[in-house]
Structure 1
Amino acid sequence: MKTILMSLASLFLATAALATPAVGDYAKYNVTISQGNQKMSLIAEQTITAFDQAANQYTVQTTYNYNGQSQIDSAQKPADEFVSDAMAKDIIANCASYQGTLEQVTVPAGKFNSCKLPTSDGNGGTGSINLVAGVAFGIVKGTSTEQGKVTNVELLAFTNGK
């Protein structure tokens, strides 16, 4: 499970970079990982639990649930890794200039107008994310492919913090 979670970490690092941060932001994702004939699904939940004004950092807790097992990770994320709702709206309004494609996406959490952006991890891994404004953590759908492993993420539920 640890190897699986490590591969998810890179996808969720991108997630933090695309959100309007507020304590209480919560997002629940269905994650499917497949490689060859093997496939697994898990639930990943992210919550902003605190903001340290002196350090200008948010604490993000991520819980992974797989086959009745849970793993909780907590990380400090600098506030400048998060993008405001205004920036997300700008990206959507100017999607093509960000090398994206406007796309209407339907996921279990609802129907969203989004900007589908290409991604790259610098190690040959590629994928895309669908960015929206007004949704905790900003991602409604994502995919990544690295060394034959395909990871798909879709938003199941969200709550915006205060």
Structure 2
Amino acid sequence: MSLKSAFAALLIFSTTHALAYPSVGDKVTWSGEVQRVDGTSYSIQITKEVIEHDKKDNKWKVKVDAIMGAEKTSDIFESNELYSPSQYKNLLAGCTSKGGTIEDLKLSIGTYKTCKLTTTSEDGTLVEKWWGDIPFGVISKTTKDSGQVAKQNPALKSILVGL
């Protein structure tokens, strides 16, 4: 098989396989910065990984590892439903009717067609999330205080779709 044919086969396989999420082995990492009230900042990295699926009960187990500055945490949670390509398709189709905007979000690992949704909490904190066609859905998230100063901005760093 020629190099060109092998590359084409790999491209077709990876595109087809990417649509198979959620599946065991899906792993997504976001990284960014958190700004403290005193003006200092620290790095943040969050990784979510699908580690198990009970088909009988349709329960998913997801491991979440977080590094925030010097603090490291790890947790496992169960869910009956995980984000899927059909949810992305529905979200994109209804994005503007939900008050969102469709945006191409360019990151170091690629450009993603997203639905940007913005919410404001009771304390005035503004949360912007860019939802895309990846496991767990969120491509990037920015949290701003009531004065619109960014407090947190983790963005997608890597994706591994289950094998």
TM-score strictly above 0.5:
yes
Q: Indicate the structure whose relative CO is greater, using CA pairs within 8 Å and at least 6 residues apart.
A: 1
CA shift digits 1:47-83 (9 cap, x unpaired): 010012343221111112355764321111222xx33
Unaligned runs of 5+ in 2: 1-20
Residue 112 in 1 paired to residue 98 in 2?
Answer: no
Greater Rg by CA: 2
CA shift digits 1:5-27 (9 cap, x unpaired): xxxxxxxxxxxxxxx52211110
**Equivalences, count:** 140
TM alignment of 1:120-139, pairs within 5 A: 120=120, 124-133=124-133, 135-139=134-138
Q: Which residue of 1 aligns with 2:93?
A: 93
Change (3 A) 1:52 1:142: same
TM alignment of 1:30-109, pairs within 5 A: 30-36=31-37, 37-66=39-68, 70-79=72-81, 82-109=82-109
- Tell me the TM-score normalised to structure 2 length: 0.73
Q: Which residue of 2 aligns with 1:161?
A: 162
Change (3 A) 1:23 1:121: farther
In 1, are the aligned partners of 2:83 and 2:136 still within 8 Å (CA)?
no
Unaligned runs of 5+ in 1: 1-19
- Tell me the TM-score normalised to structure 1 length: 0.74
The alignment's C-alpha RMSD in Å is 2.4
Judging by fraction of residues, say which structure has more strand.
1
Cα deviation for residue 43 of structure 1 reads 1.6
